[in-house]
Amino acid sequence: MHIKPKETASLLDLACGQGILARALPEKMAYIGVDLAPSLIRDAKKLDQNAAHEYIVSDVTKSLDVPQNHFSHAAIVLALQNIEHPSQVFKNAYKHLNADGKLYIVLNHPCFRIPRQSSWKVDDTQKLQYRRIDRYMSDMKIPIQAHPSKGEESAETWSFHFPLASYSKWLFQEGFVIEQMEEWCSDKTSTGLAAKMENRCREEFPLFMAIVAKKITE
């Protein structure tokens, strides 16, 4: 999945973090990155010296001080699963995309990568590794330890799980139609006695999903 911008292309990067996506774009592509964390925006500005790029501190689920109906592309990469109200992100993307603009979403796979409710297991009888899913259809707010080795002293963040149908529904309600969907498997390769079993399982269960949604205009 690739962004193929025209000369007039511009990107609104929602929950941009340290601006990793910005540094992978064509040099002259106009870009605004938005993130709620001032520390991440400071890091992004230090790492990205492109004069065509701008960074602002703001909540991507609320009104943004950026041009409306302006951007040819919007993106939210590996952040949507940490946002309690994804539909508000989609609403903002719609507001700031121009006619026929596209929204690119990358997130942890909502079917196969659910914190605390999915895991790798081994069937010793069949000599197979498989993916176990304990819950899926329920909306969930799941606490995540930033540094598990620190136990109770670790900072805590939140992950929010919703079934795939919810994302499809919210995109449509906010004025988008899904154009493309991809499922990405891990590119890791195991070695050792269990390598064949582990590699086969890893190739069968994607842990990431990418969605391209197009803004619908009347």
Q: Burial level of 177, CB count in 10 A (0-12/13-18/19+)? A: exposed
Does residue 151 surpass a pLDDT of 80?
A: no
pLDDT score, position 89: 98
- The closest of 209, 184, 183, 187 to 199, measured between CA atoms, is 187
Does residue 4 surpass a pLDDT of 80?
A: no
Model confidence pLDDT, tens digit, residues 110-130: 999 999 999 999 999 998 999
Does residue 1 surpass a pLDDT of 70?
A: no
For the entire predicted model, the pTM comes to 0.91
Q: Burial level of 11, CB count in 10 A (0-12/13-18/19+)? A: buried
Span 10-215 CATH architecture: 3-Layer(aba) Sandwich (3.40)
pLDDT score, position 184: 97
Domain residue ranges of the chain, discontinuous segments joined by +: 10-215
Say how far apart CA 106 and CA 33 lie, in whole Å: 16
Say how far apart CA 199 and CA 194 lie, in whole Å: 9
| Least confident window among 55-59, 118-122, 158-162, 214-218 | 214-218
| Least confident window among 70-79, 145-154, 206-215 | 145-154
Region of residue 47 (left: phi > 0; alpha: psi -120 to 50; beta: else) = alpha
* DSSP assigned state of 156: E
Say how far apart CA 22 and CA 56 lie, in whole Å: 13
Q: What's the pLDDT band for 5 if we cut at 50, 70, 90? A: low
